[in-house]
Amino acid sequence: MAIQKLSSRIDSVKIYAAGATVTRIAELHLTPEKLPEQVEIAQLPLALDDSSVRVRVEAGQGNPIAGDIRIGLAVPPPSETPNPPLEEELRAAKIEVKQIEDVINLINQEISVLNKLEVPERPESDLGVAPPASPMSARLALANFSDEQIRLRMQEKRENLEKLAKAKEILADLEQKQAIASTAKNAKPEELRKIVIVSLSYEESSSEVNQTIQLVLEYFVPGARWTPTYVCRLNSIENQATIAVRALICQRTGEDWSSVKLELSTANPLVWCDIPELPSLRLGKAQPQIRKAGWRKPPIGAEILFEDFDRQKEIALADVSKYSRHLMSDISLDLLSRKFDRSVYRFTEEESLELDEEADLNFSGLETMLGEEPSDLLEFEEEEEDLDFDEEEDFSNWEYLTIESPPSRRKPRKRELNPIVVSLSVARPEKPTEYNKNFASQNFPKIPSNDDFINNFLPYGLMRMGTADNPEKRGKLSIAKPQELYLEILHQQKVVVNFNILEVVQQAVYSAQECLRFPLPPAGINVREVAASFDYSYSADGRIDIPSDGQFHSVALTSKTTDVDVRYIVVPREDTNVFRIAQLRNPLSAPLLRGPADVYVDGEYILSTNIVTVPPKGQMKLGLGVEQAIKVARNTSYWEERSGETIVAFNELCHQIKIEITNHLNRNAKIEVRDRLPIPEEGAKVEVKIEQVSPEWQQYKQEERGIPIKGGYRWQIEVPAKEQKTLSVDYKIKTFVDSELIGGNRRE
């Protein structure tokens, strides 16, 4: 049954730390009369990972089951070309151009002769003798004749040049049509695309209703990455903040993503994870670990199944005439049936053997051995080329086989094959150019070999059963080479391939991975490193357009609103500027990864900063710069007193600190004022005593910044709008009378 081709669209994309999973949807309309067994989804990127392709059926009653999946290469169908011109028409156009060119050459020669025609000079006379007659009319007639003839020929030349231009235009058009018609089935590297062929099986209920089902195709492609960015908009009046999660996305997968559902993930999709097994605990001597095999050996005696085939093959060979045997020995039946498999190599059918009715009878044995008509295997061309085969030569890189016939053939004799001259013409791989050498030196993703397949997984969909005429592979499953799988569908479409398709596929993969080597934008981060041991995903609220150009594009993912608490921090001992700090809660169920953020307050851009990773529902802080509407002044006073009249007397170093805060805002301001008192060294005979604090404060160790301190204190107060508040602290430092503090007794 013919394969039904389906058009698909990209519905969603999930981008990982490196690479992306693309989900396509194709619709298939089923009727009781039309239940296709195979469907084809084409126009897929060359860089997709073949082992990642998944297909499922959705949205239908009695859905069919998606079975075998085949992946191959194809080219888009050629545009409709006009019928190629006949050889007579093309030959007539060439003759016409040649005739016009000959006429122009003749005219040029005549003009050259006329230009050499000159009026003879007046003859000289002897001394004392009258000069001979030289009529002026004849001289003028000759000059006029030369000019007139040159003018006429120049006019004729111009007319012929116009005819020549039109004739050449017609000839070029005919040659172009012929070239297009002759190369319509030749594949080009830039036209190659991957396709997926899905086999469908139906239930009994599926053949009774008309319905439209959806085929969902998923595959992984390299060449995509992302890094997070944020925009934070604060509303100081309502004490709310809106966090807009954005991302810079770069993709070069070979297909544009238009209006797709986007999801970003920090995971690595190409990591193999085994389900843990609980081993049994036994007491006694340790036993060697038994390695489980993924398959069993084939049964013994499978060759017996082919005994009838071999017996019939011998009978068929005995029936072939002597001349046919001689011809088959020249062509080498073993070479055709074993080394040139039709599923791998290209056999064209432009011409076939011309056999009479009696000669066709002699080919029955050959048809039995090869399983096909001789005309399906042989192709005749005009030129001949001899090629000596080497038994040890590797034919795995040959693209197609053609067998050519001579221009003339004799009438075949009775019950004999028509005698022909057979030669083989092959397309060999091109010699490695400088570009190919550089290309081969790159670190491309390794194409899995048979050993890789066997060691990692069991690719039953890639296995092929050997034919009955192949004693080495018949009755056995073997994994087909990637090139064989790719060429299989191209050969079914009768497309000629004259280049190395594996090199084209590898180049597409390498080109897709170029965006992974580009440097990240400023402040960009590797999401895989930031996520650590946990993986998270972020979904976009709407549909996104991302072109496949390898450039970073900024896209909006989602926007959430949360409450914000704006407070102010000042350290007047060091700086009297009041700094705004916005504290808000992460409104997402996933963490806010480290990245750059643009901050706006009441619609006005304030600054750009880098936020640290915030856990889900965790608290984050944003520095908003200096608040000019709040003024702080710190004043100190100092005096000394002597205590006691005994022999041992003390000096009391009295210190007083006053901090005045003025709030010029139209709202109350929560302000945290930080200060610090001196701390005596261990073992020093110095005492620091706090006398009075207004209002009360609390100790502050600065542990959240990773730089702990001693002697730190802070006030957390609220200053009403348009009001002023004063903070004060009195403390004394007691030392012996005959002692003095290092650096002076005055501490402030």
In whole angstroms, what is the distance from residue 224 CA to residue 214 CA?
27
Instruction: Name the percent of the chain lying above pLDDT 70.
Output: 74
Tell me what pLDDT residue 374 has: 37
Q: What is the pLDDT of residue 185?
A: 61
First-to-last CA distance in the chain? 97
Q: What is the mean pLDDT of residues 249-254?
A: 92
Q: How do 257-265 and 477-479 pair as beta strands?
A: unpaired
Pairing between strand 537-546 and 257-265?
Answer: antiparallel
Q: What is the DSSP string of 342-390?
A: TTTSB---SS-----HHHHHTTHHHHHHHSS-HHHH----SS-------
Mean pLDDT of 195-217: 80
Kindly report, residue by residue over 293-344, the tens digit of the pLDDT: 656 676 777 778 888 888 888 888 777 655 455 554 544 444 444 433 333 3
- Characterize the bridge pairing of strands 575-585 and 553-571: antiparallel
pLDDT, tens digit (0-9, with 9 covering 90-100), for 84-121: 566 788 888 889 999 999 999 999 998 888 888 777 77
* pLDDT classification of 417: cutoffs 50, 70, 90: very low
Determine which helix (DSSP H) or strand (DSSP E) holds 484, and give its type and residue range.
helix 482-492
- Judged on CB neighbours under 10 Å (0-12, 13-18, 19+), 444 is middle
Interatomic CA distance for residues 386 and 50, integer angstroms: 40
Spatial contact of 733 and 621, defined as CB atoms under 8 Å apart: no
- Please enumerate in sequence order all residues whose Cβ is within 8 A of that of 694, keeping only pairs 6 or more positions apart, or say none: 727, 728, 729
Name the residue with tokens 């859905």: 63
Please give the DSSP secondary-structure letter assigned to residue 336.
I
**Which distant-in-sequence residues (6+ apart) come within 8 Å of 348 by Cβ?**
379, 400, 402, 494, 496
Distance between CA atoms of residues 131 and 122, nearest Å: 9
> Cα(372)–Cα(399) distance, rounded to whole angstroms?
20
Question: Which residue matches tokens 């597409």?
Answer: 508
Does residue 530 or residue 23 have the better pLDDT? 23
Exposure of 115 by Cβ count < 10 A (0-12 exposed, 13-18 middle, 19+ buried)?
Answer: exposed
Higher pLDDT, 174 or 340: 174
More confident of the two residues 142 and 102: 102
Q: What share of the chain is helix, strand, coil (3-state, %, to 5)?
A: 25, 35, 40
Coil, strand or helix: which one is 139?
A: helix
Confidence label for 533 from pLDDT (cuts 50, 70 and 90):
confident
Q: How far apart are CA 594 and CA 314, in angstroms?
A: 76
Enter the tokens of residue 435.
């570009």
Q: Please tell me whether residue 630 adopts helix, strand or coil conformation.
A: strand
Mean pLDDT of the chain: 76
Provide the percentage of residues in the chain whose pLDDT is more than 90.
Answer: 22
pLDDT bin (cut points 50, 70, 90) of residue 557 is very high
Furthest-apart CA pair in the chain: how many Å?
Answer: 170
Structure-model confidence comparison of residues 706 and 18, the more confident one: 18
Lowest mean pLDDT among 53-67, 106-120, 567-581: 53-67
SS3 117: coil
At 231, give phi and psi (nearest 5°).
-130, 120
Domain boundaries, the chain: 307-426, 561-736
The structure tokens 């700086």 sit at 575
- Contacts (Cβ under 8 Å, ≥6 apart) of 9: 24, 25, 26
As a whole number of angstroms, the distance between CA 411 and CA 229 comes to 81
Instruction: Output the six-digit token pair for 348.
Output: 């064209």
Segment 693-697 shows an average pLDDT of 91
Burial of 689 (0-12, 13-18, 19+ CB in 10 A): exposed
Radius of gyration over alpha carbons of the chain, in Å? 46
Please give the average per-residue pLDDT across 170-194, as a whole number: 75
The whole-angstrom separation of Cα 243 and Cα 234 is 9
Task: Report residue 428's pLDDT band, with 50, 70 and 90 as the boundaries.
Answer: very low
- The predicted pLDDT at position 423 comes to 25
Q: Which residues contact 418 (CB under 8 A, 6 or more apart)?
A: 353, 354, 355, 359, 409, 410, 412
pLDDT of the residue at 454? 43
**Total residue length of the chain:** 748
Give ∠ CA 92-95-97 in degrees, rounded to 5: 110
User: Can you spell out the DSSP letters for 177-213?
Assistant: HHHHHHSTTB--GGG-EEEEEEEEE--GGGGGS-EEE
